[in-house]
Structure 1
Amino acid sequence: MDPFSKKLLEELEQMQQQTGRILRSMSLSRMMPMEAEGWQPAVDIYESETSVYVYAELAGVVNDSLRVTVDGQRLGISGVRQLPSHQSIACIHQLEIELGTFQRTLTLPSAVEVEGIESTYANGILMVTLPKRIRKGKVQIRITPGE
């Protein structure tokens, strides 16, 4: 492959990666929060045979401000992100980090066992592990005669 074609393919790959990042950051729930005030953290949800895993990107959030709640099939994550104050700032050139309170409510893909839920927060990522509710096996349903 000639150098020009190779460079062109590299540029197209970079554009594809950047477009993916832009589209992920423009999710409807983050652009137009209906239920919450403040900013909305990015969240990934994964599912295995036995559990649902939720990862939230919360860099800079102090652990003590985090709250995780489960109500039925809804998971709530809330907290506060504050940056250290700088007394000597004279001019701001760029602001991209969202600050203040946040709340994110997610609908889980399946019912979960509340007693077994675990969460950890490290390196700016909150991970919530929710064990799925185990469904019982085959159930015999009694049929009553009608009139």
Structure 2
Amino acid sequence: MPLMRWEPLREIDSLQREMNRLFDTFTNETSVESTRESFVPRAEIHETSDAVHLKLEVPGIEAEDIDIQASTEAVAISGERKSEIKTEEKGMTRTEFRYGKFRRVIPLPVRIQNTHVKADYQNGILTLTLPKAEEEKNKVVKVSLG
């Protein structure tokens, strides 16, 4: 068996490229070109004693272009941001905006009353109030010692 020279810097560089590829796969943000086709809106979730409050950042989308579906255990939000680039004038156009369809399914920490969900959309922020199911509100667990 021939001896091979070990080059630690090459190994580190190879490892870094592989880690970057893995992270790009998980975040779906490999480049500006690929993110123009679709995007994932950022979300914020907050739980109170009566409800789960969910906010999604979806600027530049009309309310009628957003579809919300709620089950007792998850919420699915989908929509589309349509491109408004006009090429009537000659010249260069560069955009870093993200256009295209999105779909996000968010599992909820507790069961909700999906027939009583309230939605509000202002200034590009979609706010959902998801009331907890009655059995979740009244859920008390006895903890015993020993």
Q: Please give the TM-score of this superposition, normalised by the length of structure 1.
A: 0.64
Task: Check conservation: 1:68, 1:78, Cα contact below 8 A.
Answer: yes
Match of 1:73 in 2: 73
Q: Structure 2, unaligned stretches of length 5 or more?
A: 1-22, 30-36, 141-146
Q: Tell me if 1:130 matches 2:130.
A: yes
Instruction: Tell me how far 1:91 sits from its aligned partner.
Output: 1.5
**SS of residue in 1 equivalent to 2:115:** helix
Match of 1:107 in 2: 107
Q: Percent identity?
A: 24
Instruction: Tell me how far 1:30 sits from its aligned partner.
Output: 7.1
In 2, the alpha carbon distance for the partners of 1:114 and 1:90 equals 50
Task: Check conservation: 1:30, 1:40, Cα contact below 8 A.
Answer: no
Instruction: Tell me how far 1:130 sits from its aligned partner.
Output: 0.2
Q: Structure 1, unaligned stretches of length 5 or more?
A: 1-26, 139-147
Task: Check conservation: 1:38, 1:103, Cα contact below 8 A.
Answer: no
Deviations 1:88-113 (A, max 9, x none): 262234x3221111111100111001
In 1, the alpha carbon distance for the partners of 2:39 and 2:90 equals 24
In 1, the alpha carbon distance for the partners of 2:24 and 2:69 equals 23
RMSD: 2.6
Equivalent pairs counted in the alignment come to 108
Q: Tell me if 1:84 matches 2:84.
A: yes
